[in-house]
Structure 1
Amino acid sequence: MWSPSVTEVMVMLEFLDVGLNTVTKAAMSGGMSHFVLVVYSNILAIFFLVPCSFIFYSRQRSRPQLTCSIVYRIFILSLVSCCGQMFHYIGIEYSSPTLASAMIDLTPGFTFILAIISRMENLDLRVQSSQAKSIGTLVLMTGALIVTLYKGLPITVAPSTNKLLKEIMLSSQSNWVLGGFFLALHSVILASYYIVQTWIIRDYPAELMVTLICCIFVSILSAIVSLVAEKDANAWRLKPNINLMAIGYSAAFALSLRSVLHTWALKKKGPVYVSMFKPLGMVIAIVSGVAFLGDTIYLGSLVGAATIALGFYAVIWGQAQEKLMVDDNEICSFIKSPLKKFSPAK
């Protein structure tokens, strides 16, 4: 039976993430409050996660013990998540999904720095694997900047097929700089989120339970903030339109499926590996724009996409080399132990 790898899962999540940015932008362009979106999305996600957790853990004979220390860590994760969700949606509201996909490319750099500070990643520039990961991270961010800032000559020209969606994707707001500022803060917070989540999952390897408890805490925290910040009582009324679709998409994907799979990937590969997939979102946004919106492909997009692919490969190669080194050390230790045990006494 086919079992998806971490890489395949992360690429799939980036495709879905681009769709999330577009749907939420459409909802907020129609007047939906980002405060309401965060509260309702987290509450709905709880209803998704509770039955999934019950079914999954009921089949297991034992699960990790939930201690006060773990709950405290999850509460810290919830504070980070709440701020991240708020800043992300505020940034999209003031700018566009395209800028959101571009600014998220800062996440790998911030994650790499925080992972080194927290000693989750080893940096030894004398070793090829560390050199590859460091250079790959810089190349990834360079490719993201090329895609964002350099347009170049047009390669293909295609007629627009959906003007409404194109306006949503490329809409310009008067507070574009403010939106970019909040999106940059979201990148820093997302990097911190990966670090804290990895800190938790290494001692409490229960992805569904961590996600569920985090959603409960975020629902409470965001409700407190939103009840103070959102003055319009009508904003809390929902209708069967794009607003409801945005809440459902965010709850089912961003807060349930993506959170669980990110936690699983962090346990398997660590925070730096997971964050490396974020620049792919910009490439996916460009391809989606060409395929569904009839956008033009520019030289800068191709050069940037190729640069991102090169940097991504360098980081993956560095990760693979580190894993080989760890495996070799374990094999050597296993071989040497019996030899020491049965060596004749002098």
Structure 2
Amino acid sequence: MGMIMVVLVQTSNMVVTKMAMSEGMNKYTMVFYSNALSSLVLLPCPLIISRRPGSCPPLTFSVLRKIFLIALIGLACQMCEYVGMDYSSPVLGMAMMNLIPAFTFILAIISRMEKVNWKSSSSQAKLVGTITSILGAFVVTLYKGPPILLSPSPPPVQPRHPPFLLSRQSNWILGGFLLVAEAFLISLWFIGQAFILKDYPVVMNLMFYSTFFSTVLSGLLSFVTVREPQFWILKVNIGLISILYSALVSGVFRASLCTWCLKKTGPVYVSMFKPLGVVFAAGLGFIFLGEMLYLGSIIGAIVIVMGFYGVMWGKSKEEETTIEGSGVGESLASSVHKTPLLQNKASSV
């Protein structure tokens, strides 16, 4: 339930952000304001938690350095998402999020969090699923295709073109590759968070320090890139709504809930729910943005989801083999059969 809420909030945040940028909101100041507000909301967390004896391990310089790197990766994720969304659509953005399981699997192998036996069917399924997901991402990015579902209302503002590109198709491709980069950075963020949580398992403190570093970094980036004063002035419009939603709902609630789920289950389980985002994005984009659904997006999303479930099947098969090999599953099953009360205890664990 937590991860379903995470994906729904992430998708709705993409739609609200797209609406704000279509109305002229600057993406750099929007990132800065949302991170600053998230930091203010999370500020009481370390002050309250640190007063509880034994509830918070010491925050060493090594942990702070890792949190800073996570914040840098998180800021890069935000910028790739905002710029990529500015040049494409929420449907494409959520389609690319399905690459996260494949990228997470690759990074887990590199970081030795995953062990691979190339002779086993589970490892082969994960490898084939990873390659299939990447091919599906190329289909979504490079092949737009004809529209298959037209919105009754046109988009309020046509997407803007970067000065060095000439066609809307090039615009779409640039946005697609930026969203692929975001998916890779999110996978890297998952792996990094998993390592930090082993040394510092305090979710809310971790979120505050990470958001604080992101605020400092995004502030420096905004002051360098945004020179026009009008982009710093907040007005009561969709831009302010986007900042509040991105800071409070997406920044504080979604990120904290995702980190908590990551702590409980690990990075692979967290990445399992990303395919739901395509459905959410298609519906929300169709209703609120007047987005059209294209054939290339549907075909590519189907290919990505097939690859995604190939990775997940291989992962589940691998876990079943490990349990059977250790004999834990057989002994647990016999114990549960003999003692019904143990079934409830095992379920609660």
The answer to whether the superposition gives a TM-score over 0.5 is: yes
Aligned match of 1:338: none
The alignment partner of 1:315 has SS state of helix
* 43-52 or 117-126, larger mean C-alpha shift: 43-52
Q: What are the ranges of 5 or more consecutive residues in structure 2 without an aligned counterpart?
A: 166-170, 332-349
The alignment partner of 1:41 has SS state of helix
**Contact map agreement 1:201 1:263 (CA 8 A) in 2:** no
Aligned match of 1:198: 194
Say what the alpha-carbon RMSD is for the aligned residues: 3.3
**1:275 paired residue among 247, 271, 279:** 271
Deviation at 1:201, TM superposition (A): 1.2
TM-score w.r.t. the length of structure 2 is 0.77
**Contact map agreement 1:45 1:215 (CA 8 A) in 2:** yes
1:222 aligns with 2:210: no
What does the per-residue CA deviation read over 1:46-95, in whole Å, with 9 as the maximum and x for residues that have no partner? 22223456667767852333222111110111121222222322222233
Which letter maps to 1:193?
Answer: W
1:128 aligns with 2:121: yes
**2:206 paired residue among 190, 210, 225:** 210
1:173 aligns with 2:169: no
What does the per-residue CA deviation read over 1:226-247, in whole Å, with 9 as the maximum and x for residues that have no partner? 1122111222111111111111
Aligned equivalents of 2:122, 2:188: Cα separation in 1: 23
1:235 aligns with 2:223: no
Which letter maps to 2:253?
Answer: L
Which letter maps to 2:181?
Answer: L
Which letter maps to 1:182?
Answer: L
* 283-292 or 68-77, larger mean C-alpha shift: 283-292
Q: How many residues align?
A: 321
Which letter maps to 1:224?
Answer: L
1:108 aligns with 2:96: no
1:49 aligns with 2:39: no
**2:4 paired residue among 7, 11, 17:** 11
Aligned equivalents of 1:230, 1:65: Cα separation in 2: 38
Aligned equivalents of 1:213, 1:280: Cα separation in 2: 30
Aligned equivalents of 2:242, 2:203: Cα separation in 1: 24
Aligned equivalents of 1:192, 1:219: Cα separation in 2: 20
What does the per-residue CA deviation read over 1:130-155, in whole Å, with 9 as the maximum and x for residues that have no partner? 23333333344445555566677887
> Structure 1 292/93 Cα, relative in aligned 2: closer, same or farther at 3 Å?
closer
Q: What are the ranges of 5 or more consecutive residues in structure 1 without an aligned counterpart?
A: 336-346
1:312-323 pair list within 5 angstroms: 312-323=308-319
Aligned match of 1:34: 27
Aligned match of 2:336: none
The alignment partner of 2:55 has SS state of coil
TM-score w.r.t. the length of structure 1 is 0.77
